[in-house]
């Protein structure tokens, strides 16, 4: 078993159980306890888990870093996207800064099922410590490669998605272009995001206006595969026309997030 695969197994087992002892991890993975300790030390340094006496536990939401300040553009996009989510839905959330900001906005929505390959997103939806806190069922997709945004990508995640179904899937776009479509810089991320799109009844792409014209290494999907594109109203007229002609529905979220009437207009079909 490769080192990366073994560490992903440790992450998955710990998330399933909340805590795990070094002995049981070593027995399950059929490796020495010293090997498990080294893996736990590395995962703890990366912020994925916490070391405890004799074992490891998942990071609780109270141990997460405070939400960083976000731009008006991202705040507007997140507000528009969050308005689409209703209690009881199953939603897929990709890696990426805007997707993570959306996840933070959804923490208080009750009875969600969240499907994600992003470790920071899964950390937000750890089991609540209070009985009266919103409960979210979280499905964490594991893979063999970790992206800079702490998303796990690869064939394991793709295979898992073949059997999952989401009401909405939210994807964070690296770039958008008429010819290249929606693009990313990571080949395995493109494959995983395509599988995430296939699992969704509706695909919602999140992208600030300056993502328009950016072309990454590989195409995730054509613009016509996007059911809804939520961007901010900083998008220029020519880009609006081009996107409106290709995506299912184009939403221009007002950067004045306090203007509820403008937000309602932006979300109207």
Question: How confident is the model over 17-73, as pLDDT tens digits?
Answer: 778 889 888 888 889 999 998 888 888 877 778 888 888 887 654 444 455 668 899
The band of 135, judged by pLDDT with boundaries at 50, 70 and 90, is: low
pLDDT band at 1 (very low <50, low <70, confident <90, very high): low
Task: Please answer whether residues 10 and 3 qualify as being in contact, where contact means their C-beta atoms are separated by less than 8 angstroms.
Answer: no
CATH topology of domain 72-267: Rossmann fold (3.40.50)
Of residues 225 and 54, the one with the higher pLDDT is: 225
CATH class of 3-59: mainly alpha
Name the band, by pLDDT with cuts 50, 70 and 90, for residue 196.
very high
If DSSP states are collapsed to H, E and C, what string results for 176-218?
EECCCEEEECCHHHHHHHHHHHHCEEEEEEECCHHHECCCCCE
- 105 versus 142: the higher-pLDDT residue is 105
pLDDT at 223: 98
Residue 265 confidence (pLDDT) above 60: no
72-267 and 3-59 share a CATH fold: no
Domain spans of the chain?
Answer: 3-59, 72-267
**Residues 152 and 186: beta-carbon distance below 8 Å:** no
């Amino acid at each position: 078993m490769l080192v990366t695969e073994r560490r992903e197994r440790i992450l998955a087992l710990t998330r399933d159980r909340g805590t795990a002892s070094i002995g049981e991890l070593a027995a399950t993975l059929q490796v020495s306890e010293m090997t498990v300790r080294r893996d736990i030390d590395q995962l703890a340094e990366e912020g994925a888990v916490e070391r405890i006496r004799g074992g490891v536990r998942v990071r609780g939401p109270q141990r997460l870093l405070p939400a960083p300040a976000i731009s008006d553009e991202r705040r507007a996009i997140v507000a528009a996207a969050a308005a689409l989510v209703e209690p009881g839905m199953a939603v897929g959330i990709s890696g990426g800064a805007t997707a993570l900001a959306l996840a933070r906005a959804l923490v208080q929505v009750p009875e969600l099922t969240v499907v994600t390959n992003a470790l920071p997103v899964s950390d937000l939806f750890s089991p609540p410590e209070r009985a009266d806190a919103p409960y979210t069922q979280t499905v964490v997709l594991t893979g063999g490669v970790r992206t800079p945004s702490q998303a796990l990508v690869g064939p394991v995640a793709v295979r898992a998605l073949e059997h999952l179904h989401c009401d909405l899937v939210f994807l964070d776009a690296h770039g958008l272009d008429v010819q290249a479509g929606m693009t990313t810089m990571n080949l395995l991320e493109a494959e995983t995001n395509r599988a995430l799109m296939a699992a969704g009844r509706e695909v919602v792409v999140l992208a600030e206006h300056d993502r328009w014209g950016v072309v990454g290494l590989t195409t995730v999907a054509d613009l016509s595969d996007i059911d809804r594109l939520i961007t901010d109203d900083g998008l220029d007229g020519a880009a609006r026309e081009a996107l409106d002609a290709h995506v299912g529905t184009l939403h221009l979220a007002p950067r004045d997030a306090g203007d509820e009437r403008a937000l309602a207009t932006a979300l109207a079909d």
